[in-house]
Amino acid sequence: MYVTDGKRHLVCIPYSTENLHSMAADLGIGRHWFHKNHYDIPKKRMDEITSKCTLVSSKDIVKIIRGTYDRTDNSSGNDSQ
């Protein structure tokens, strides 16, 4: 599952660096958009890529990276699935 906060931050579930790079390759995002623990969505492709993702809060992006995100308890209320 591809996940964004709608503010250009992009991660995936299950989260791992290997999965992040696979996600980026699948979406056609170059590695230069990788920033330590997430990808940035190229500004010109926001609508296209966001349409392929589940929308969550920025706090949930951090939880996904930390491994503490629980999809069954999405406190942001922004999960589109």
Q: What gap in Å lies between CA 15 and CA 64, rounded to an integer?
A: 7
Residue 8 has pLDDT above 80, yes or no: yes
Q: How many domains does the chain have?
A: 1
Contact 8, 40 (CB under 8 A): yes
Higher pLDDT, 77 or 9: 9
In a domain, 62, yes or no: yes
Domain region containing 33: 2-73
78 is a domain residue: no
Q: What is the pTM of this model?
A: 0.84
Q: What is the mean pLDDT of the chain?
A: 91
Phi-psi category of residue 23: left, alpha or beta, with phi > 0 → left and psi -120 to 50 → alpha: alpha
Give the model confidence (pLDDT) of 22-57 as tens digits: 999 999 999 999 999 999 999 999 999 999 999 999
